[in-house]
Structure 1
Amino acid sequence: MRKQTSSRRHLRVIALAAGVALALAGCSAGSLGSSGGGDGVSLTFLVGSNQSTVNAAESVAKAFMAQNPGITVNVETRPSGSEGDNIVKTRLATGDMADLFVYNSGSLFQAIGPEQNLTPLTDQPWVGALEQNFKRVVSAGEQVYGAPFGPQLTGAILYNKKIYADLGLQIPRTWDAFMANNAAIKAAGTVPVIQTYGETYTSQLFVLGDFHNVAAAEPDFAERYTAGQAKYASSPAALKGWEHLQQLHDLGYYNEDFPTAKMEEGMRKLGDGEGAHYPMLTNGIPTLTAASPEGAKDIGIFPIPGDDPAKNGLTVWSPNGVYIPKTTEGAKLDAAKKLEAFIASPAGCDAQSDGATPTGPYAVDGCTLPADVLPATKDFQTYIDAGTYSPALEFLSPIKGPALEQITVEVGSGIRSAADGAALYDQDVRKQAQQLGLPGWD
């Protein structure tokens, strides 16, 4: 989903001009020397190559160094995707990891052996300010290992507020109300729901973003799913996301070019009023801003509706974590913990916002969004403030089959029925669970 860059490490060196010696890009970590209390320490901070992430990291480094003139922070980038994953795992295994690094939370975090490879941070005062679900998804063996980096995400329905106002529509809190809105939108000559299967990952949202509704109907679904006792094809609640995907196709509610359209085009259609709804992750909001700068101001967000209006809420993806490997020791460790504390503070959130406009709320108490964020981001914040949200399934279970996006494309294209798609995905999940050695999947 992100552009790949060379696996050769690329140092982005930032140095505070006043009172701080310039750090040379060719210097190894710690080559500036160190002394007690962290003075004169040079840290490397490894982040993904996505430009927003790099901008936020550089802004954090600059703000932190302004408060800590004895510490230099060098921001280092790695590729995203599987290449980046391999780099992280290899550097941890060989003891060559940066002093701090950004990586996934949740099931992928568990895969890097936190108890063996990372420094626990449970005793740090800022841990108490973390959003509870984030704290859980960066924990192992009752220890907390990370601070949040970047905003939370949600998989929900972006909608055009101007279309809603023109047609006198209300935000739907049930699926039936959503479908009534779609009928009115189609009758007015506008595409009800935008889909962009030219980028297959975008096809998954009616299934993945529906998990809040699954959890509301079956609170123990994630536990039973991990144990091999609950399946998409046999769970009435979990099957509904697949059924909705098929229903919308069968009624002709998708844009005509949905098989080939890509996310950027989907965002442009939404912002320009060519379509009313687009189920998408909020990390696509910067694309919306670029594709339709004026139209982006008319876009809001609401949860994928379920059956019970009283239980309406968002499915939320936790942000990545910032971790300290066990190879970071002595004065470097003290300095790295200071940087972790700064990141997990309102000042750290503000520094991230200065570098890259957030597309969702932060996972730290006391952090606030800038006043100039888009309406969709403000809408997202209201659900977090109200506590009407649930973590996505991948933060509650290690199982996510690799073929999901191909199967949701087939169901959303009318090639395969919802029931067949769910059953096929259950088979895909079974293979992954067996590879993970999970009990109950023999």
Structure 2
Amino acid sequence: MNRLIHSTALAGAMALVAGLAQAEVTLSVLIDNNPETVAMMEALTAAYTAANPDVTFEIEQRTGGAEGDNIVKTRLATGEMADVFNYNSGSLFQALNPQQTLADMSSLGGQGNVLDSFKQVVTSPDGAVRGVPFGPAMGGGIFYNIPIYQELGLTPPKTWAEFMANNEKIKAAGKVAVIQTYTDTWTSQLFILADYFNVQAEVPNFAADYTANKAKYASTPAAMRGFERLEEVFKAGVLNEDFGAATFDDGMRMVSTGEGAHYPMLTFGIGNVKQNYPDNLNDMGFFAQPGNDAAKNGLTVWMPAAIYVPEASANKEEALKFVDFVATVESCQTMISAAGASGPYLIKGCELPADVPQAVKDMLPYFQTEGMTAPALEFLSPIKGPALEQLTVEVGSGIRPAADAAALYDQDVEKQAKQLGLPNW
């Protein structure tokens, strides 16, 4: 009898261990609501579950822009963040207090596949790498409608004067020359942020001096120019009538289908068109935001967003295994298959297909030529004030002069620099 009880207990214990080994885990995932992001994450999680049937996922979407920033910061601060989430790298990553809030990913095997240029923008002050790239690197510039350019005999501009001359010809032809979409306030920043290649071409030390409180937007003519260009485009009367009500989705539809000629945007918008207007994908080209000197024409580059795991996740170990999977060539190709190739991926050995959209073909030569790209300011400095998108909406709507907005932004930046504890502030 005792032997029977012992055998039954042993069998029960073994069954319990086996059950634990096969225990199902559901990982919660929080992502932004861009169609490209959604397509990539759905494909990655499906692939992971196919290889690991005991792991399933619940995906939740959030808005972008300042509202999305607040959601991420609040949920991290209150311990309510999902097990896995995507968010910006660079200055916005630093604003998350990553040393305390995010899991250390330095020892993941997949980090060996990640380019060092990306690791630098997800490294916390203690030297720990806390993210892996999610999606492609992006260019900041201007999408243009190729059929409109062909119809009017226009060529992509290399200087701002040429760009404005093209706008006047498009306006004279009765078409919308420049699309703006201020319902999604973050989209209003592009004429300033994408101008950074031109800023550093004139003032090579701007990023370092800006971080050290030695340079300001309002007192640096090259940096002020982005605000002035936003104002100039509004005053020229070349915008879509509904610029205050239009959304990012509207902007990508308009420039790809020919409802408008130009849309200042990051190249991740290519994925939106592939998802929603695939027949118009090759009707859309791309050029870097032009500056004053055609000989110094180059592209401002955004590093990809990253995948992070909160330090407080109840499923941290399993979440890190998934992130390690995301940092593979296999996962990179899965993302390309799901959302297309809107730019180069920062995983070693992950090649782009030959049949990339025209806008990607237009962008790649900048990456392939030494000196024709520069990182956006937010990857060179930890400072990016949260009020910028409200100020750029005001300038782009004719509500506030460019000079006033630049001065207010300098004040906004000061608050953030002090919060980060930067010297000289």
Same fold by TM-score, threshold 0.5 exceeded?
yes
Give the SS at the match of 1:193.
coil
1:10-409 → structure 2 map (5 Å cutoff): 33-34=20-21, 42=25, 44=27, 46-48=29-31, 50=33, 52-64=36-48, 66=50, 68-69=51-52, 72-80=54-62, 81=68, 82-91=70-79, 98=83, 100-124=84-108, 126-140=110-124, 141-289=126-274, 292-324=277-309, 333=317, 339-370=322-353, 373-386=356-369, 388-409=372-393
* Structure 1 alignment gaps of length 5 or more: 1-29
For residue 279 of structure 1, report the CA deviation from its aligned partner: 0.5
Question: Could you tell me which of 413, 424, 432 is aligned with 2:397?
Answer: 413
Q: CA deviation at 1:329?
A: 11
Aligned residues: 400
C-alpha spacing 1:321/1:305, structure 2 compared with 1 (3 Å): same
Segments of structure 2 that go 5 or more residues without pairing to the other structure are 1-16, 63-67
Partners of 1:200 and 1:61 in 2: CA distance: 30
* Amino acid corresponding to residue 410 of structure 2 in structure 1: D
1:425 Cα deviation after fit: 1.9
Instruction: Check conservation: 2:36, 2:271, Cα contact below 8 A.
Output: no
Give me the whole-angstrom Cα distance separating, in 2, the residues matched to 1:316 and 1:424: 25
Q: Alignment partner of 1:322: what SS?
A: strand
Rg larger in structure:
2
TM-score computed with the length of structure 2 as normaliser: 0.81
Question: 3-state DSSP class of the match of 2:78?
Answer: helix
Could you say which structure has the higher helix fraction? 2
Distance 2:61 2:249 in 1: 22
Which range moved further: 367-376 or 406-415? 367-376
Question: Does the CA-based 8 Å contact 2:218-2:410 persist in structure 1?
Answer: yes
TM-score, with length taken from structure 1: 0.78
Matched residues in 1 for 2:240 and 2:26: separation?
A: 50
- Helix, strand or coil for the counterpart of 2:27? strand
Q: Alpha-carbon deviation of 1:40?
A: 7.2
Deviations 1:54-108 (A, max 9, x none): 4423422343455x55x7432233453223432234338xxx873x544432233
> 2:423 aligns to what?
439
Deviation at 1:159, TM superposition (A): 0.4
The answer to whether the 8 A contact 1:175-1:307 is kept is yes
Instruction: Please tell me whether the aligned partners of residues 103 and 321 of structure 1 are also in contact (alpha carbons under 8 angstroms).
Output: yes
**Which residue in 1 is equivalent to 2:410?**
426
| Paired residue type of 2:388 | L
* SS in structure 2 at match of 1:366: coil
Contact 1:58/1:75 (8 A) holds in 2: no
The alpha-carbon deviation at position 49 of structure 1 amounts to 5.6
CA drift at 1:346: 1.9
| Cα distance in 2 for residues equivalent to 1:405 and 1:115 | 27
Tell me how far 1:209 sits from its aligned partner. Answer: 1.2
Q: Provide the C-alpha distance between the structure 2 equivalents of 1:406 and 1:326, rounded to a whole number of angstroms.
A: 32
3-state DSSP class of the match of 1:192?
coil
Shift in alpha-carbon separation, 1:324–1:203, aligned structure 2, 3 A: closer
SS at match of 1:354: helix
What amino acid maps onto 2:390 in structure 1?
A: Q
Query: Displacement, 1:326?
Result: 5.4
SS at 1:144 equivalent: coil
Q: Please say if residues 27 and 319 of structure 2, whose CA atoms lie closer than 8 Å, have aligned partners that are also in contact.
A: no
CA spacing shift, 1:263–1:105, aligned 2, 3 Å: closer
CA-CA distance at 1:235 after TM superposition: 0.6
Cα deviation per residue 1:280-318 (whole Å; 9 max; x = unaligned)?
Answer: 223333444566553332001111011233432222222
Deviations 1:390-426, CA, capped at 9 Å, x for gaps: 2222222232223222222222233332222212222
